[in-house]
Amino acid sequence: MSTPIKRTPQTTSERAQDERRWHIVDVAGLNLGRAATQIAHILRGKHKPTFTPNVDCGDFVVVLNAKKVGLTGNKLEDKIYYDHSLYLGGMKKRPAKEMLDKHPDEVIRRAVWGMLPKGPLGRRIIKKLKVYPGAEHPHSAQQPAAQKLQTMRG
């Protein structure tokens, strides 16, 4: 008598997709960190059942009203953004209030970048993030779906 052959489950690995969806996110009145985690989740593709950590399988995200994002506590005055020109004495320090006034898109981009993997994969993923300070955007041809971010968990 022969024993029945046991079939082992197959592990499938996702490949890079050409078909990506577009999402619109309005961050007016939301906390910066909470919004950035959810944006990174969509960019990374973790909301899909076919998520693979080493493959860029996420979607595009269009962020609107970046100028109206909120910071809790004293972060407007206390949080400092650092840049360096790689020359001696080339350190630039800017408080969050100045960054929100002059470059609100950079505030969102830096917060999301901190939550993505570093290296070639992360650089590919961050290119799918489109941030605009106001409510207008040039991506209506892609027919983006409105995405409602959660304000609090629980």
pLDDT, tens digit, 9 for 90 and up, residues 112-141: 999 999 999 999 999 999 999 999 999 999
pLDDT in tens, 78-122: 999 999 999 999 999 999 999 999 999 999 999 999 999 999 999
Helix axes 32-44, 104-113, angle to 10 degrees: 60
Strands 91-95 and 80-84: antiparallel
Structure tokens at 84: 């360096």
More confident residue, 1 or 32: 32
Amino acid 16: pLDDT: 72
More confident residue, 71 or 15: 71
CATH number among 1.20.1250.20, 3.10.580.10, 3.40.50.880, 3.90.1180.10, domain 22-71+103-147? 3.90.1180.10
Residue 24 contacts residue 140 (beta carbons within 8 Å): no
In 1-154, DSSP assigns E strands to 22-26, 60-64, 80-84, 91-95, 129-131, 145-147
112 Cβ contact partners less than 8 Å away, ≥ 6 residues apart: 36, 39, 40, 43, 126, 129
Structure tokens at 69: 């994002």
Amino acid 154: pLDDT: 44
Residue 99 contacts residue 90 (beta carbons within 8 Å): no
pLDDT in tens, 25-79: 999 999 999 999 999 999 999 999 888 899 999 999 999 999 999 999 999 999 9
Amino acid 10: pLDDT: 76
Amino acid 153: pLDDT: 54
CA torsion through residues 115, 149, 130, 41, sign = positive
Structure tokens at 109: 């981009």
In whole angstroms, give the CA distance from residue 150 to residue 154: 10
Q: Binning pLDDT at 50, 70 and 90, where does residue 152 land? A: low
More confident residue, 15 or 53: 53
81 Cβ contact partners less than 8 Å away, ≥ 6 residues apart: 93, 94, 95, 96, 99, 106, 107, 110
